[in-house]
Chains A and B, each alone.
Chain A
């Protein structure tokens, strides 16, 4: 996120039912959220009733204040994670968004919590919500299936072209993807990168990246290569396959090493 993109870096979703609209993630600033709200108003008069946040990261929740009259829905751990990290996010994203935009941001936790699986009836159109049991991409990932359009809104459980970002558990993420790939959907909306990909084939690149991350980290740990030297040698075969590789791969490599050295 930076002032030039105003936090507009994540894919956002809208599902219009017979008597309710559901929004899936609200973008990385209130300006992005407001623009999304205006775009929805241009296509439907149906009230915007539900805001679903797929996880806690700022580029997915900082637009929440543009929908403060709606009902917020999220993973059952999301309120606690937002309480813990929200103040830190507001502080650390001040430079990226600028003082005016950051002042508008409100950390709004969900009032409707998803424990495991749940549904939202939009009026003749039912969304299926699935909360990850343990950390994967983040600490509280939530996936949304719109059966009517056979579309899976994967949030940041799915990255396409944009290098995956690990902020939960590598083993948890790989294991969740194996389950998620069985979701009956024809297409998926990733959290970042292309807007729509075929499902589950659109998952292949990310699975390969994460599996290589784990394999490289394990091998270097076994060889006794220390963390400081291992980072630059992990997942290098994936360089060139992803945008923002140098921004996030070293962090992912560090997290993978820290997670796997006790296995």
Chain B
């Protein structure tokens, strides 16, 4: 049963869009009212001691803007990050994704790619295990990312929902016992704002709504996604693999298609 926060249906997106527009009319910064809506009015503190967010100041492709979030060393201890929310403030559907971290997954780094429709702040909000909300943000100059036409690359020939998983080569500066993983899903992630070039009709929104990644029965990462995630969603995260159980991933798009893949852990 999804909680309110995990609901990414078009209704929620529309409500947030209206909210964003109203907020902009009253004040140039949509964040205070967006934050109040998404986090039920709970106080949010600066997360600069716990989190770092990186994104290009001027995006090269507004439909493919990399966003990188690190949890700073020492942030763990008595409390850890339980959930991370990514908000593209000025987008028609600002709530881009929520990431739920597995309790013992040890995730301390996460990146994905978003669509950016207008000059905007991108906020990352960490919900700690003690309930505290901590936010950091980054300003990005880009426009038109939500309505940009779909990519024309080689991926188009690959079946919908195909997943690719990679355990990336260990970097020399990475903490012992950690690995970086990449999961890509072939999906157009239609925003509902893109036009079919032949019919000149808008393509209905159709996007990856849920994704869960496990090693064996150990949950690593769960993602609730919206239309602000880029086409062919990509997620990278640094975590602590354990043992030889295979990795598996389940995904579901907003039309109810389900996708499942398994990947051997041999390379760990």
The answer to whether A224 touches B166 (Cβ under 8 A) is yes
Complex Cα gap A50–B151 (Å): 32
Q: Which of A88, A92, A223 contacts B169 (CB 8 A)?
A: A223
Q: Which of A139, A227, A250, A262 contacts B66 (CB 8 A)?
A: A227
Given contacts A224-B168, A228-B54, A254-B61, contact A84 B200 (CB under 8 A): yes
Who on chain A is nearest to B144 by CB? A88
The answer to whether A258 touches B200 (Cβ under 8 A) is no
The answer to whether A258 touches B197 (Cβ under 8 A) is no
The answer to whether B68 touches A262 (Cβ under 8 A) is no
Q: How many residues of A contact B (CB 8 A)?
A: 31
Q: Which of B56, B60, B186, B200 contacts A262 (CB 8 A)?
A: B186
The answer to whether B152 touches A135 (Cβ under 8 A) is yes
> A residues 227-247 with Cβ under 8 Å of B?
227-228, 231
Number of A-B contacts (CB under 8 A): 77
Residue of B68, B143, B152, B198 with highest tally of chain A CB at under 10 A: B152
Who on chain A is nearest to B67 by CB? A228
Shortest distance from the beta carbon of B198 to any chain A beta carbon, whole Å:
6
* Residue A226 lies at the interface, judged by CB distance under 8 Å to chain B: yes
Residue of B61, B155, B195, B236 with highest tally of chain A CB at under 10 A: B61
Across the interface, which residues of B come within 8 angstroms of A88, CB to CB? 144, 147
* Residue A19 lies at the interface, judged by CB distance under 8 Å to chain B: no
The answer to whether B154 touches A262 (Cβ under 8 A) is yes
Who on chain B is nearest to A171 by CB? B154
The answer to whether A169 touches B60 (Cβ under 8 A) is no
Given contacts A171-B154, A226-B111, A262-B158, contact A84 B60 (CB under 8 A): no
The answer to whether B166 touches A258 (Cβ under 8 A) is no
Complex Cα gap A205–B55 (Å): 32
Who on chain A is nearest to B166 by CB? A224
**Which A residues are within 8 Å of any B CB, using their own CB?**
77, 80-81, 83-84, 88, 92, 134-135, 139, 168-169, 171-172, 223-224, 226-228, 231, 250-251, 253-255, 258-263
Q: Which 10 A-B pairs have the closest CB atoms?
A: A259-B153, A224-B168, A262-B155, A228-B66, A254-B60, A80-B197, A135-B152, A251-B60, A254-B61, A227-B66
Can you identify 5 A-B contacts, CB atoms within 8 angstroms?
A: A77-B197, A139-B197, A223-B169, A251-B60, A262-B184
